[in-house]
Structure 1
Amino acid sequence: MSPQRPARQAMQRLVDFYDPATKGKDVGGRTLDQILGWRDTRLESQHDYIQILFPLPEGSIFNEWAPVIDEETFLYLRQDNNSHNFQPSMRRVLTRMLTFYGFDITWEEDNTEGASGSKRYAVAVTAKPGAEDDCFPRWVRRRDHNHLRISRILRSLRVLGLADEARAFFAALVWVFDTYGRISDDSMMFWRRAVELPLHVAPDGTEVDWLGEYEEKNKEEKN
């Protein structure tokens, strides 16, 4: 039986926000299309959108209205994306933010199948031509508020079932880190934790109990 639509109003709003048919609005009255249409300067200067574009199962100290994913919503959003078009919308969001940071992303269908016969894709994230002069200066530095955003993006992708995209983005970040030598070791440490720690553990060490139980259940089923 497929997971039911989330019961909490905040989670229903999140689902509707990502639904291309519903075109729901966030608490600020903005649709997904509106935010994705913002210029880079607005994406840089405004700080209350990243939490809804990339929701987490942990709260945000920067935005009290940030959606906090519960188990019901987690299961609903990770089911077959044909039922609600969430993952295609998430890929649109990721593509826009990667463009903001100076990257291109590509998906190439491979010859294997995922769970329940779903298609699988090889994902690659590469630097855009001219990014060194255009996009990288806004965040390729020792410390920057975008580093926190990137940690959120990486973790959110994994939580929402886009682990391949998270790994591809992280690989591109490692390349930038090694190539330019401007980003702090601390930022790279948090990015690595966002990709490599067990899913129930956030980069800062916060643990989500229900997510840990989900992981344990999955291990038992695989064994």
Structure 2
Amino acid sequence: MNASQHRSPLHAYLAGQGSDGRGRTIEDVLALPDEALERIHDYIQWLFPLPTRSMAQPGAPVLTPDEIASIRADEQAIANLRRAAERMRRFYERTDDWLSPHDHNHLRITRILQSLRLLAGESDARVFHQAVMIRQQASGSPVNRQSLAYWERAVGG
């Protein structure tokens, strides 16, 4: 057996060798236009998994300790996680809906930061955090203090 046969569905997805619960590959999701990323709500848990159940998508996968270790050790999975972070960074730079006191994207940003820190490392999370903060500050700092505090805690602040 090769290493990909031992991967969980979530790990296989991040490594580019599997699909999410709707049959989409990571390449399919990364190619979605901004409008689809805003409208579709079940991809973020696959792109940025966490070891806690999603309240928004309770059927989404939950990371196990073994998956965390195997994803961290998989260069392709980490490279794809970084590509996903870059895609979402561009999404947040080009869209404005999230630039309000309350928006569902605030929860997505918290998830992205937590997942990046857990799987790719604190520096990856901080780079994403900085990009989001620059954008929200340039827009007059419309995001509520509670969301900003969640984001700061997510990067280890």
DSSP 3-state at the match of 1:47: coil
140, 153, 164: which one aligns with 2:123: 164
Q: Which one has the bigger helix percentage?
A: 2
Structure 1 residue 33: Cα displacement: 0.9
Q: Residue 33 in 1 paired to residue 27 in 2?
A: yes
Structure 1 residue 5: Cα displacement: 7.6
Deviations 1:134-153 (A, max 9, x none): x2x22111111100000000
| Length, aligned pairs only | 154
Confirm or deny: 8 A CA contact 1:5 1:76 kept in the other structure: no
Q: Which residue of 2 aligns with 1:19?
A: 15
Q: Which residue of 2 aligns with 1:107?
A: none
Q: Residue 91 in 1 paired to residue 87 in 2?
A: no
Q: Which has the larger radius of gyration?
A: 1
CA 1:174/1:40 → structure 2, altered by over 3 Å: closer, same or farther? closer
Confirm or deny: 8 A CA contact 2:126 2:155 kept in the other structure: yes
Structure 1 residue 177: Cα displacement: 4.2
Q: Which whole-Å CA distance do the structure 2 matches of 1:60 and 1:31 have between them?
A: 20
Instruction: List gaps (5 residues or longer) in structure 2.
Output: none
DSSP 3-state at the match of 2:68: helix
Q: Which residue of 1 aligns with 2:91?
A: 100
**Normalized against structure 1, the TM-score is what?**
0.64
Q: Which residue of 2 aligns with 1:192?
A: 152
Q: Which residue of 2 aligns with 1:61?
A: 55
Amino acid at match of 1:155: Q
Structure 1 residue 6: Cα displacement: 9.5
Q: Which whole-Å CA distance do the structure 1 matches of 2:141 and 2:14 have between them?
A: 36
**Normalized against structure 2, the TM-score is what?**
0.89
Instruction: List gaps (5 residues or longer) in structure 1.
Output: 103-130, 198-223
Q: Which whole-Å CA distance do the structure 1 matches of 2:86 and 2:121 have between them?
A: 13
